[in-house]
Homo-oligomer: A and B are copies of this chain.
Amino acid sequence: MTKPAPLDRELDCTHCPLGPNTAYGPVLRKSPGAVARARKGIARFRSNQTILRSGEIALSCYTIVSGWAFSCIVLPDGRRQILSFFLPGDTISLFSLHQPYRPALTAVKALTPLTTCVFDVADMRELLFGAQGQRAAFDTIAAERIADMTRQLTDIGLRRATGRVAQFLLAIEDRLRRAGLSEGGAFDFPPRQGHIGDALGLTHVHVNRTLVDLRRRGVIDFSKGRMRVIDFTALRRIAEEE
């Protein structure tokens, strides 16, 4: 496990704006103190820093306060598949709660500078599985992850470049909006075109052509880390049909 940066004590779980959207949201509601007590502190990661290496055993999990991360598999020849992005409110290493002390299948890296709340996997398990009814809430999140993977598989297997990119943008916008981080379709968008390509099975060059094309068509606009969906209807149509 990569050594996180030194921990601070700040931000109060009880009043955390992300709280209700997290995996332990229900726990937080019933006994806010429990979460605050379980939290080991705050860890920061540099952009591009590895949080968890493939094959390592996750002893901590991290709820993102700000920034993006992603999980990926890297083949021996360097090709990389990004499997999911983690946004504020998401918990990294959720799988390790399900299957603690199992070697990670995927690596996790910070996409931007990252601020996270750190929990021991053991503590989090107790928190989630100990209390009555929390298990179900957690299962819901696991089921949603499976649903995400299903959709991603369908996108990559069935759709061509434009459709994949459109689906991707819609999915990200939706998640960000739920987290209160998208207004009027505009949001901070830190991933490089290479990240998008690695997530969608395309080259960064082709991602660029696709994005530029969508921009020319007036469906989206983007520049320096900002993305804006101008025409949701058109984007949804493109996502469905192409």
Q: List residues of A whose CB falls within 8 A of some B CB.
A: 73, 75-77, 79-81, 83, 95, 98-99, 102, 105-106, 139-140, 142-143, 145-147, 149-150, 152-154, 156-158, 198-201, 240-241
Contacts and interface: CB of A to CB of B under 8 A. Distances in A.
16 contacts: A73-B150, A73-B154, A75-B154, A76-B240, A77-B241, A81-B153, A83-B153, A95-B143, A98-B143, A99-B139, A99-B143, A142-B142, A152-B153, A156-B156, A157-B198, A157-B199
A140 B99 contact: yes
A154 B81 contact: yes
A106 B150 contact: yes
SS of A interface (majority): helix
Nearest to A147: B105
Contact of A201 (B73, B76, B152, B156): B156
Which of A83, A102, A152, A154 counts the most chain B CB atoms within 10 A?
A: A154
A75 B151 CA distance: 11
A135 to B, nearest CB: 9
A157 to B, nearest CB: 4
How many copies of this kind of chain does the complex include?
A: 2
Q: 6 shortest A-B CB distances, which residue pairs?
A: A157-B201, A81-B154, A99-B143, A81-B157, A149-B149, A79-B158
B150 A150 contact: no
B201 A158 contact: yes
Contacts of A99: 139-140, 143
B142 A153 contact: no
A199 to B, nearest CB: 8
Given A77-B241, A79-B158, A106-B150, 12 more contacts: A76-B240, A80-B158, A95-B146, A98-B143, A99-B143, A102-B143, A105-B147, A145-B146, A156-B157, A156-B201, A157-B199, A157-B200
